[in-house]
Structure 1
């Protein structure tokens, strides 16, 4: 009982002075779709800005496996004929192609932006 009381006291003290904002319960939900406009201002591929503005780099890296496959590995496996299929996987999520860890769905992503992301990833083919 003393331990429970101590834990509760720590929790209460830790929350003092903080805003009483409800925490988000859905951490995998994309709240705002990234904008590609910044990519037109420089020489980057429009899909690169979208990838960098989304949560993609949490699980993927360009040249090495992280949680998911590297973008270079994805580019080596797929072609431009697979753009629609891969864009659908970004939006709906997937599991089983690269292992048992599922890729998070991004239901707020537009098909057009998902395709731009895939087009960028395919430019990384070595």
Structure 2
């Protein structure tokens, strides 16, 4: 769900960025008072109105695009989890055999120490923290991929 939302935001930002013009080519951008006056007396064309509206929308999305960029950093971890056997024992929201990812995110703060700790658990496996059912080790997984997975899980903190 978050991945689709993220892709929608990033696509929208890319489209808006590609629509940006070059003022030296004669395009006019008005401040809000000038635009209102031009719209009232009919001197502003619909194309110019659209350009101004697109710029305003792009400015409004600046904060959202920064959040989307941060979420995009966790996309690799989400994909790695989806391609692994993790989902046979874990779910994002509900406990299955092991804890839900949101439970893990709520237990551990998002910092390098915990990312490394969880990456180690993903690679080496373990038992005892969430009960006596052991987690299967994943020794063929690289440390960096395990870190990406841990970052994604910790990003789910609510």
Query: What is the count of residue pairs matched by the alignment?
Result: 86
Higher relative contact order (CA 8 A, sep 6+): 1
Superposed displacement of residue 80, structure 1: 2.3
**Residue pair 2:110, 2:155 contacting (<8 A) in 1 also:** no
- Provide the rounded CA distance (Å) in 1 between the counterparts of 2:98 and 2:121: 13
Task: Write out the 4+ residue segments of structure 1 that deviate beyond 4 Å after TM superposition.
Answer: none
1:97 aligns with 2:126: no
- Provide the rounded CA distance (Å) in 2 between the counterparts of 1:114 and 1:88: 8
- Provide the rounded CA distance (Å) in 1 between the counterparts of 2:109 and 2:136: 22
Unaligned runs of 5+ in 1: 1-38
CA RMSD after TM alignment: 1.5
Q: Give the match for residue 17 of structure 1.
A: none
Alignment of 1:65-104 (within 5 A): 65-81=95-111, 82-104=114-136
- Provide the rounded CA distance (Å) in 1 between the counterparts of 2:119 and 2:94: 21
| SS of equivalent residue, structure 1 residue 67 | coil
- Provide the rounded CA distance (Å) in 2 between the counterparts of 1:63 and 1:102: 20
Max Rg structure: 2
Q: Give the match for residue 37 of structure 2.
A: none
Superposed displacement of residue 123, structure 1: 1.1
Q: Equivalent of 2:87, from 54, 57, 65?
A: 57
Q: Give the match for residue 147 of structure 2.
A: 115
Larger helix proportion, structure 1 or 2? 2
